[in-house]
Structure 1
Amino acid sequence: MSLREVAVTGIATTPFGKHLDRSLGSLASEAVAAALDDAGVGPGDVEQAVFSNAAEGVLTGQEMIRGQVALKGTGLAGIPILNTENACASGSAAAHLAWLAVASGQVDVAIAVGAEKLFHPDKQRSFFAIESGTDRSLTREGEDVEGGSVMMGAYAAGARAYAEAHGDVREALAAVAVKNRAYAADNPHAQFRTPITADDVEASRPVADPLRLLTCSPLTDGAAALVFTAAQPGDRVRVAVSTLVSYREGSSVVERAASEAYRRSGLGPTEIDAFQLHDACAFAELAQYEQVGIAEPGKGAAAVLEGRTGPGGDAPVNTDGGLLSRGHALGATGLAQLAELGRQLRGTAGARQVADPRHVLSVNSGGWMGGDYATSVATLLVGG
């Protein structure tokens, strides 16, 4: 099938953090208005919307028509609205569908919107909502974290296995957390912006060995939106390719999604100027260095310790602070990742700007099948 070229012409994120006084719809509306303004279009120009949310059904009982409800005050009422729920990869799945709608020629303008409110008076409800993105038919042995997240238990088990094979990872995990917080210090939309040190990481509360509080992503509220349009001369951010894969036993979904993006774009890892990776915890980021080709197997820890993934490195990762410091508002996360890469290509990322980026890659993954993510989306953007 022949696909036409698509540009990202509107980019918006709300501040991420605790928004107890805001509704999901108000966060979504803020992101939509800002993205449309950035694209220079009005609600009447949009022909399709894709709305992303992961946890609202569990936390509030609002199911089935979340997008129609959240977007009812945005001027988008009446157009086709699709709802995506794909765990932590919901936002990038929404972007994938909006891109496909424009690339296929079905519409000329589409918007992907992601919004999430994870803060709840009963924190256990929030953890339960996140756990609903795991395969509930599997046993939890070795994965449960008392009073906390099954996912962090699974990541911790992976980190211990990695350390047994390649050596202690605690220093590298701290380095990931410190790097991402340093980037977030220059991101006005990030949840946590105060710089931290390795000592701060070590002093933070243990979660599941070797993970500590500052190496785990926080609960977050927030929204993000992207406008996709048929590409025109002068567009500064274009979609080279978007690939979406699902769990298959015996293979890494992250590796498969990234490899397919490289294959279809004709680019390789060394040609990527900035990455956004799914750092639900510091070990997740480290492991993905190897899965997307930044580092050779067993060399992920060295990549961050040598400064390769930080400012001035050859493979900067999570320049907006990532999930660890920007925050992980499930349904908005994938879109926030792409928003950051769009700003990098535009040259508007301020103090965290990467020098002359041309090709950038986001990998956003979600859900858990007991040994790997349930799904992963890789989106490769190029500068115009």
Structure 2
Amino acid sequence: MREVAIVGAGMTPFGRHPEKGIKDLVRGAVELALEDAGVEPGILEAAYVGSAAPGLMTGQEQIKAQVTLSAMGIDSIPMYNVENACASSSSALNLAWTAVSAGIFDCVLAVGFEKLYDENRLKSYMALGTAMDIEMGQKYMEDFQEKLGLTDKVFSEEAGAKKSVFMDMYAFYTRRYMEQYGLTQEHFAKIAVKSHKNGAMNPNAHYRKEVTLDQVMNSGDVSFPLTRMMCSPVSDGSAAVIVCSKEKAAQITNKPIWIEASVLGSGKLGYDMDDTLTRRVGLKAFKAAGITPQDVDVIEIHDATSPSEIIALIELGICPPHEAPKWIDEGYMELDGKMPVNTSGGLASKGHPIGATGLAQVYEVVNQLRGTAGERQAQNQPKIGMTQNGGGILGIDGAAMAFHILKS
């Protein structure tokens, strides 16, 4: 297999953009990625376009890649439409990496977009709720509760109507970690404060305002222990990268960012809450890159809720489980900490246009490894970065999970 590099990256500001359609969003990110690489569209041999819910939100169910890219003059090349829930764009990157590493193409585009915000919030929540087994999802959770003798209710009456059903599921898992490792609601609020602080320094973030611990704790209950400021917003946005072979990259830049591992995995039905998709796929990614968890310098985690940060660090073997409270209290995940996490602000602050999220994470890590992240630059001079991007629920497991390990 050939070595593969990212030579250009771009993203649009995340947020509510009622004035922009999916063509506008894709154009914005792709033009920035091409400009960053210093190349013209004609260099692209194929395109992989990730999105999750444009059919439900805009009516454009099919040929999203062809519709959005042809509008900006990119046509004729092979185009692949990729859907994998919130992991859609990182799945697109996985396909792009696979094709280039196999020698099929030398230079390709990976892009992700989502037009998720709507004044009718129910429409957005219903779209998000399709990232699970519609026929069996509720029954599976009820069976799971009965099998383990749990009295803790998973879904509230408001799930799917006034909030995403996933908020209740995230809260359910979070309460388990609270019991096991001494984590408290205040610990998760501290993570949210950190994320919003980073997001305030990110010109592309949905929320660009620092918040206090009291503000997070009193921002409104979503599903205990989650409060509103711990949860990712419904966003619009797009992100893109240009992916090349080593030989092609050498013609374009003298500072490529190498893709050391691109690993995609899927969930499985079962009742084992310790055998998680994050752990399984993360271990494969470390092995593929030839590194250990402790070699990672900076990481972007799929924090649809703030507790997801510390939970993922535990599951990946980066944070020893019973040191989790200490990691939060002593600022280990801050920009000047031992393991900067979600320097972008994460999903909680940067935003979560689901089909664009994975590549937005990659965009952030690329800038961290280049040393071009500005005032939110990690202070440990990162050389190896990682992204974790999950999508959907299968039973009690994740449905899709993609990890990318990048190196400067």
Q: TM-score, normalising length from structure 2?
A: 0.91
The secondary structure found in structure 1 opposite 2:60 is coil
Name 1:190's counterpart in structure 2.
Answer: 205
Q: CA deviation at 1:275?
A: 0.3
Report if the CA contact (8 A) 1:145-1:207 is conserved. no
The residue aligned with 1:20 is: 18
CA 1:368–1:352 in 2, change beyond 3 Å: closer, same or farther?
same
C-alpha displacement of 1:65 = 1.1
The 5 Å alignment of 1:1-384 reads 3-136=1-134, 137-139=136-138, 142-144=154-156, 146=158, 147-231=162-246, 232-233=249-250, 234-248=254-268, 249=270, 250=272, 251-354=275-378, 355-383=380-408
The CA deviation at 1:256 is 1.3
Q: Share of identical aligned residues, percent?
A: 39
Which amino acid letter does the alignment assign opposite residue 203 of structure 1? N
The amino acid of 1:7's aligned partner reads: A
Deviations 1:315-359 (A, max 9, x none): 110001000000001010000000000001111000111232111
Q: Report the Cα distance in structure 1 between the residues aligned to 2:277 and 2:110, rounded to whole angstroms.
A: 23
Q: Can you list the C-alpha shifts for 1:4-34, whole angstroms capped at 9, x where unaligned?
A: 1111001101000000000011110111111
Instruction: Please tell me whether the aligned partners of residues 286 and 301 of structure 1 are also in contact (alpha carbons under 8 angstroms).
Output: no
Alignment RMSD (CA, Å): 1.3
State the shift of 1:64 in Å: 2.4
Distance 1:168 1:257 in 2: 25
The separation in 1 between residues aligned to 2:398 and 2:206, in whole angstroms, is 25
Deviation at 1:74, TM superposition (A): 2.1
Q: Supply the distance in 2 between the matched residues of 1:167 and 1:301 (Cα, whole angstroms).
A: 7
**8 Å contact from structure 1 (residues 181, 192) kept in 2:** yes
CA distance in 2, matches of 1:145, 1:74: 44
Partner of 1:331, secondary structure, is coil
Is the contact between residue 297 and residue 340 of structure 2 (CA under 8 Å) also seen in structure 1? yes
Letter in structure 1 aligned against 2:155: E
CA contact (8 A) 2:58 2:115 kept: no
Q: Which amino acid aligns with 1:237?
A: I
Letter in 2 for 1:271: D
CA distance in 2, matches of 1:275, 1:320: 10
Partners of 1:156 and 1:210 within 8 A in 2: yes
Runs of 4+ in 1 over 4 A off after TM superposition: none
2: distance between equivalents of 1:50 and 1:343? 22
Question: Shift of the alpha carbon at 1:78?
Answer: 1.2
Deviation of the 1:49 alpha carbon = 0.3
Q: Could you list the runs of 5+ residues in structure 2 that have no partner in the other structure?
A: 143-153
SS of 2:5 mapped into structure 1: strand
Q: What code does the residue aligned with 2:203 have?
A: P
Q: CA deviation at 1:169?
A: 1.9
8 A contact 2:181–2:321 mirrored in 1: no
Are the equivalent residues in 1 in contact too, given 2:183–2:325 (CA < 8 A)? no
**Mapped partners of 1:186, 1:335: distance in 2:** 19
SS for the counterpart of 2:70 is coil
Aligned-pair CA distance for 1:121: 2.4
Which of 53-62 and 158-167 deviates more?
Answer: 158-167
Cα deviation code 1:117-156 (max 9, x no counterpart): 1111211010000010012212165224512111000011
Letter in 1 for 2:343: T
5+ residue gaps, structure 1: none
Alignment partner, residue 150 of structure 2: none
Give the Cα–Cα distance (whole angstroms) in 2 for the partners of residues 321 and 212 of structure 1: 17
1:187-244 deviation line (CA, Å, top 9, x unaligned): 1100111100110001101001110000000000000000001124533311101011
CA contact (8 A) 1:44 1:75 kept: no
1:291 is displaced (CA, Å) by: 1.3
Helix, strand or coil: the match of 2:390?
strand
